[in-house]
Amino acid sequence: MTAPDTAFGVGFIGLGNMGAPIAQRFVAWPGGLTVCDARPEATEKVVAAGASAVATAAEVAERARVISITVLDDAQVRSVVTGPGGILETATPGTVVAVHSTIAPDTAVELGEICAARGVDLVDAPVSGGASGAEQGRLAIMVGGPRAAYEKVKPVFALASDMTIHAGDVGAGTRMKLARNLLHFISFTAATEASRLAEAAGVDIVKLGKVVRHTDAITGGAGAIMLRDTTAPIADDDFWHSVFTHVRGLGEKDVALALELAADLDVDLPLGRIALERLGDGLGVGPGEIAASHPNGVTR
């Protein structure tokens, strides 16, 4: 196996809450790291660790052939890439620009086309795992872009990530991140429902949180059911049919009991009702007897 090329320089633009710990990991890149931030003081820690600081994105592009961007939003990404003093003023063909900011997929596609016209590859590479994941080198990075560009950034990203995925063409990384974060924040909302129910039932919700974190670390949480390569209904003779009918049976029973408790305590659980109504269909096996006997998720 050919060793990856590590002679080229790496750049990093945007040293905020997420960017700073990622850049700190990138200091170890053998070809050197050049950083830039609108706040000069933000570069001090990473410079002390061995990076070089410059004033503009264009100066970063003069030195680096892989450039990571972690700024606030679509407008800032556009400015860094195509604006005055931006990357495309000086980037040479073959440079790869990696956008870690979560932006609209269409923005990534549009910027990818603009960059491609200059011989530059843009990949959307949003991250999951938070600042602590970056500090530990355990981020998941979802990359959308040409395969060759993915292969070039992968050894760089490995400094901060223990899971770098090629999601597909430009825009696919962002689409994957949005799906992942949809689950994340719906789960947070469900956690607030569970806490309201537990509190109304006289349960210590701090202790409940300890139980949730403990058992999710064992079972994998919601990710434990994300094993199939399609969301289509499951045929009766498919291996997964018995697995997910079992999950459905347990889920419908427990959610129905929770909804009955909520009704007794006058606690509204809209996500709970939706879960009872849609769990079976979502799993691909259709509603079970319990859901069928409680239309629209109503248990009383």
CA–CA gap between residue 12 and residue 161 (Å, rounded): 16
Asked about 207 being catalytic, the answer comes back as no
Does an H or E element contain 191, and which? helix 172-200
Longest C-alpha distance within the chain, in Å? 67
Q: Which two tokens stand for residue 143?
A: 């990359």
Nearest CA among 73, 68, 48 for reference residue 57: 68
| Catalytic-role residue among 152, 177, 207, 210 | 177
**Neighbour-count burial for 25-38, b at 16+ CB within 10 Å, e otherwise:** bbbebeebbbbbbe
Nearest CA among 44, 51, 57, 47 for reference residue 13: 57
CA–CA gap between residue 203 and residue 128 (Å, rounded): 32
Check: CB of residue 258 under 8 Å from CB of residue 265: no
CA–CA gap between residue 11 and residue 114 (Å, rounded): 20
CA–CA gap between residue 24 and residue 157 (Å, rounded): 12
Classify the phi-psi angles of 286: left when phi > 0, otherwise alpha if psi is within -120 to 50, otherwise beta.
left
> Catalytic site residues?
177
